[in-house]
């Protein structure tokens, strides 16, 4: 019994989040189509934000690059899984190699390629990135986002440039998206409970002490960087297979802002914060959007969704800088330890 409690206590945060996510996805059963879509979209966001959290939360370095990785994953997956109509690829993406041009592969292959592509790019970039100090690293990551945007926006022969790739098979619904979100939560939890996670957090909180205790900070950062890019890439692939249409404009500043806002609102420093942040921001933006369209008691002017989100984020940073969860995980309520005689 005590063994079981011990086990439960050690994996409690991930268990709570799993239950939370499954409960949220159950809302989509029997609900209208638009609710199911909102929930699916939220789950794909959770995958991206948890990806972002794996690096940002554990290393303490803010990254703007992860939506870039999501874009890389989304395009890699689209190259394999596209399209429902066989003539689309030769027509719009003539630059693809032959094995991609004339074949459409199943969704699983797409996910795998997303992981490999974003992870590979992250590894190469990461070797340089981890050498930079905190703030400089953040700015470099912003430059990386701009590079991805510039390259994918101009590389007409394989990305269709600024127009979109359509006819991507729509295979992701609430079920698959939730499964993805739950898996990713467990991956992030496993990482942060591993020795690598602990060493990285040690270097975040006490850089000098960590280094002098033998933590190889750059190695730890690189591991987290690649893992988080892989997760973000998978998030991008899920998103494109949910939308069925892919354009680079969806993977730039707006989504970057949204994901960072989600992570900040919940709290940068805990996995529970990342997930709760996505859920809360989704609720807020969805209701603001409903108010904008006038389906509410009163109508808000256009643009309030973005402005409102920005203001909420600033207020949270001022009044609750560690986010709604204050940097903590969900924990099992503690019973008082038995008194020893």
Partner 1 sequence: MAYFIQTLIDALSLGSLYALAALGIGLLFGILRLINFAHGDYITIGAYSLIVPSTAATTTVFIGGWHTVPLILAVCIIVVAAALLSDRFVFRFLRRSHPATLMVASFALGYVIQNVILAIYGSRPKSIGLWPQLSRFLVIGEIRLPILQLVVISSTIILLLLLTLFLYRTRFGIQMRAASDDFMMARYLGVRADFVIGLAFAISGLLACAVSLLLVTQTGVLSPTMGLGVVLYAFIATVIGGMGSLTGSVLGGVAVGMASSFLQAYLPPDARPFRDAFLFGLVVLLLVVRPSGLVKVKGIEERV
257 belongs to the binding site for partner 1 (CB under 8 A): yes
Cα 149 to its chain centre, rounded Å, is 18
Least distance between partner 1 and beta carbon 52 (Å): 12
Q: What CA–CA distance (Å, rounded) separates 105 from 100?
A: 8
* Residue nearer to partner 1 on the CB measure, 12 or 142: 142
284 belongs to the binding site for partner 1 (CB under 8 A): no
* Residue nearer to partner 1 on the CB measure, 245 or 315: 315
Least distance between partner 1 and beta carbon 84 (Å): 30
**Contact mark string toward partner 1, 123..152, x via CB under 8 A:** -----x--xxxxxx-xxx-xxx-xx--xx-
**Subset of residues 66 to 125 that bind partner 1, contact rule: CB under 8 A:** none
Q: What CA–CA distance (Å, rounded) separates 153 from 242?
A: 21
Which of residues 1, 4, 23, 318 is near partner 1 by CB under 8 A?
318
Which of residues 26, 157, 311, 331 is near partner 1 by CB under 8 A?
311
* Ramachandran region, residue 161 (left: φ > 0; alpha: ψ -120 to 50; beta: rest): left
User: Cβ distance 220 to 200 under 8 Å?
Assistant: yes
N-terminal to C-terminal alpha carbon distance within the chain = 23
Q: Give which of 238, 201, 259, 321 is closest to 63, Cα–Cα.
A: 259
Q: What CA–CA distance (Å, rounded) separates 59 from 227?
A: 13
Number of residues that bind partner 1 (CB under 8 A): 43
Q: What CA–CA distance (Å, rounded) separates 27 from 9?
A: 28
- Residue 132 has φ and ψ, to the nearest 5°, of -80, 150
Helix axes 2-26, 174-193, angle to 10 degrees: 150
**Contact mark string toward partner 1, 175..214, x via CB under 8 A:** --------------------------------xx------
Neighbours of 325 (CB within 10 A): 21
* Residue nearer to partner 1 on the CB measure, 18 or 141: 141
Least distance between partner 1 and beta carbon 200 (Å): 15
Q: What CA–CA distance (Å, rounded) separates 167 from 182?
A: 27
255 belongs to the binding site for partner 1 (CB under 8 A): no
253 belongs to the binding site for partner 1 (CB under 8 A): yes
Which of residues 9, 310, 326, 331 is near partner 1 by CB under 8 A?
310
Residues that bind partner 1 (CB under 8 A): 60-62, 128, 131-136, 138-140, 142-144, 146-147, 150-151, 154-155, 207-208, 253, 257, 260-261, 264, 268, 301-303, 306-307, 309-311, 313-314, 317-318, 321
């Amino acid at each position: 019994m005590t063994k079981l409690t011990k086990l439960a206590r050690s994996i409690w945060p991930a268990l709570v989040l799993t239950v939370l996510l499954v409960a949220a996805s159950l809302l989509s059963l029997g609900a209208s189509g638009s609710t199911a879509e909102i929930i699916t979209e939220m789950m794909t966001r959770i995958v991206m934000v948890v990806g972002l959290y794996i690096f940002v939360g554990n290393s303490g370095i803010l990254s703007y690059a992860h939506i870039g990785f999501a874009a890389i994953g989304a395009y890699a997956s689209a190259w394999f899984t596209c399209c429902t109509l066989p003539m689309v690829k030769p027509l719009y993406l003539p630059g693809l190699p032959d094995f991609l041009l004339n074949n459409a592969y199943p969704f699983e292959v797409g996910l795998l390629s997303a992981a490999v592509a974003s992870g590979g790019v992250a590894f190469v970039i990461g070797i340089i990135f981890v050498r930079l100090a905190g703030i400089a690293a953040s700015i470099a990551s912003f430059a990386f986002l701009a590079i991805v945007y510039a390259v994918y926006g101009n590389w007409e022969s394989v990305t269709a440039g600024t127009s979109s790739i359509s006819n991507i098979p729509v295979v992701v619904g609430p079920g698959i998206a939730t499964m993805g979100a739950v898996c990713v939560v467990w991956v992030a939890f496993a990482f942060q409970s591993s020795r690598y996670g602990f060493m990285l957090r040690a270097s975040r909180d006490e850089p000098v002490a960590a280094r002098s205790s033998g933590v190889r900070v750059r190695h730890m950062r690189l591991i987290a960087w690649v893992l988080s890019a892989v997760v973000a890439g998978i998030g991008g692939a899920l998103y494109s297979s949910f939308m069925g249409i892919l354009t680079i404009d969806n993977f730039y500043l707006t989504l970057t802002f949204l994901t960072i806002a989600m992570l900040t609102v919940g709290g940068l420093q805990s996995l529970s914060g990342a997930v709760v942040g996505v859920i809360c921001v989704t609720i807020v933006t969805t209701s603001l959007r409903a108010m904008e369209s006038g389906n509410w008691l009163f109508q808000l002017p256009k643009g309030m969704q973005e402005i409102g989100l920005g203001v909420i984020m600033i207020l949270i940073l001022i009044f609750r800088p560690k986010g709604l969860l204050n940097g903590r995980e969900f924990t099992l309520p503690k019973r008082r330890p038995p008194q020893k005689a």
